[in-house]
Amino acid sequence: MQFPDDFVWGAATAAYQIEGAVTEDGRGTSIWDTFSHTPGKTLNGDTGDIACDHYHRWRDDIGLLKALNVNAYRFSIAWSRILPVGRGKPNPAGIDFYSRLVDGLLEAGITPFATLYHWDLPQAIQDDDGWMRRTIADDFAHYADVISRALGDRVRHWITLNEPWVIAWAGHMFGEHAPGHRASSPAAALTVSHNLNLAHGSAVAVLRQNLPGAKIGTVLNLNPAYPATNKSADMEAATRFDGFWNRWYLDPIFRGHYPADMTEQYAEFLPEIRPGDLDRARVPLDFLGINYYSRAVIQDDADNAGLGYAMVSPEGEYTDMRWEVYPQGLFDLLMRVHRDYAPREIYITENGSAWVDTLTETGEVHDERRTAYLASHLEACSRAIADGVPLKGYFAWSLLDNFEWAFGYSKRFGLYYVDFANQQRYLKDSGKYFARIAGR
């Protein structure tokens, strides 16, 4: 495997998944507090109340990053620590936490990549219709303004949103994520998607103004679609799935419009799209962040309401999330995004796998399958770079085992094993492998 000398090697986390300390130093409630405390929403009723206790252990956790030999760290900022009710007056204690973290990272020679929104909307904003309200874009821009003024002298890499697809569909149609809306029509998810585009555009404008020279991007979860057979019905179904999952998010930010085949599919459910909206969303970006975990194999299914497709599970290896291990999908995806959208730079902002881990008596975790997953996906990255993709870095998901949303603590993605009974961290074999590659 070949990587350029200036390749960015990183690990990623998100605030609600690791921080804990949910009532400390003036943090306001977020929709994930509300959701995880609602019976039946998360496995075993798990919550992020304590999580990895990173809010208190951040210094040690920087030490963990150093031991991984990474030169970058992607974390997210909890909006409700900065603005406890989402808008109005900032909370200095909340800002201080991230300020100290950033100083510590820089001292350790680790470049911070800050994500503004990784799903923990302030509850007060939710009470005012959350992502369903068009003017949430102004609130998001205000938050971006406050935090970029506070950290922008030291944080030079910014990400607006993590995975708008998940925010829209898991949160506002399937009900699996906060705020837990279930709907039988896609109208709400499409409204949310549109408002996320507006919020993204407004935040980029603010960041550009406040931070000349900073690198600004966004993060999409892309899922390459493969037809189950070469029958035209299956190929068309795969195209619809691709429109639903990938193009609905790529086209507005890179081309300034929604894909025409999909606006036709969604015709009766579309939100109001005002003139100029998608010009606002299509702002030049310095990079696109891609989160890649698996692929989708799609067949036509006329009985299936909505887009008329079904996902099939081919023979193969599946992770503890029941996601197929398919590194070729990462290569194909990188080539395709480069060809069709040509982002200036690309980062893999998340990639990793969950497996059932066992901690030995001597404090080791022999997670061969996670190591193999990492190796095969890094190999796909290296091939894409050789073929001309401007891939500038790779962030492993995740630094630590953590609160995996609706799955609670049952799914372990970390390069470090966390014993949640006592918060001890142990470097897994996959982490040792990653440290060797990152440290070369």
Query: Annotated active-site positions, please?
Result: 163, 350
Residue nearest to ligand FCB (CB): 14
Least distance CB 231 / ligand FCB (angstroms): 31
Contact 224, 329 (CB under 8 A): yes
Distance CA(287)–CA(422), nearest Å, equals 39
Strand 296-300 relative to strand 287-291, pairing = unpaired
Residue 43 as a binder of ligand FCB (CB under 6 A): the answer is: no
Among 96, 3, 20, 121, which residue's Cα sits nearest to residue 61? 20
CB of 401 to ligand FCB, least distance (A): 11
Nearer to ligand FCB, 53 or 350 (CB): 350
Cβ 12 to ligand FCB shortest distance, Å: 8
> Which of these ranges, 50-58, 128-136, 161-169, 181-189, lies near ligand FCB under the rule CB under 6 A?
161-169
Q: How many CB atoms lie within 10 A of CB 439?
A: 12
Q: How far is the CB of 408 from ligand FCB (least distance, A)?
A: 11
Q: Closest CB to ligand FCB among 97 and 397? A: 397
Indicate the residue among 239 and 351 with the shorter CB distance to ligand FCB: 351
Closest C-alpha among 334, 350, 437, 360 to residue 399: 350
**Paired tokens of 392:** 């500038």
Decide: 54 and 75 in contact? Cβ < 8 Å. Answer: no
Among 80, 91, 246, 291, binds ligand FCB (CB under 6 A): 291
Interaction of residue 218 with ligand FCB, rule CB under 6 A = no
Using the minimum distance from each CB to ligand FCB, give the nearer residue, 11 or 146.
11
In the list 404, 409, 414, 417, the residue contacting ligand FCB (rule: CB under 6 A) is: 404
Give yes or no for residue 397 binding ligand FCB (CB under 6 A): yes
Q: At its nearest, how many Å lie between ligand FCB and the CB of residue 260?
A: 28
14 binds ligand FCB (CB under 6 A): yes
Q: Does 299 bind ligand FCB (CB under 6 A)?
A: no
- Identity of the residue, 146 or 189, whose beta carbon is nearer to ligand FCB in the bound complex: 189
| Beta strands 424-427; 416-419: pairing state | antiparallel
Residue 290, CA distances (Å) to 15, 112, 249, 308, 338 in order? 19, 17, 12, 27, 12
Q: Is 396 left (phi over 0), alpha (psi -120 to 50) or beta?
A: beta
What burial letters (b/e) apply to 24-35, b meaning 16+ CB within 10 Å?
eeebbbbbbbbb
Binding mask 163-182 for ligand FCB (x = CB under 6 A): x--x----------------
- Residue 232, classified by CB atoms within 10 Å of its CB into exposed (0-12), middle (13-18) or buried (19+), is exposed
Residues of this chain, 333-362, that bind ligand FCB according to CB under 6 A = 350
Smallest gap from residue 163 Cβ to ligand FCB (A)? 5
- Give me the sign of the Cα torsion angle 321, 367, 348, 230: negative
Q: Does 139 bind ligand FCB (CB under 6 A)?
A: no
User: Between helices 92-107 and 54-67, what is the axis angle to 10°?
Assistant: 20
Q: Which of 29, 115, 191, 221 binds ligand FCB (CB under 6 A)?
A: 221
Cα dist from 202 to 137, 196, 211, 236, 312, whole Å? 6, 10, 14, 35, 39
Binding span for ligand FCB by CB under 6 A among 277-285, 302-310, 375-383, 397-405:
397-405
Cα 158 from Cα 113, distance rounded (Å): 6
268-304 burial: b if 16+ Cβ within 10 Å, else e: eeebeeeeebbebbbbebbbbbbbbbbbbbbbbbeee
Q: Which is nearer to ligand FCB, 189 or 385 (CB)?
A: 189
Binding segment toward ligand FCB, per CB under 6 A, in 158-166, 193-201, 272-280, 332-340: 158-166
Q: Among residues 148, 162, 191, 319, which is the contact residue for ligand FCB, using CB under 6 A?
A: 162
Q: How far apart are the first and last CA of the chain?
A: 11
Q: Which stretch binds ligand FCB (CB under 6 A): 124-132, 162-170, 249-257, 418-426?
A: 162-170
> Nearest-5° angle of CA 192, CA 131, CA 269?
30
Told to check if 401 binds ligand FCB by CB under 6 A, we report no
- Footprint of ligand FCB (CB under 6 A): 14, 17, 162-163, 166, 221, 291, 350, 397, 404-405, 413
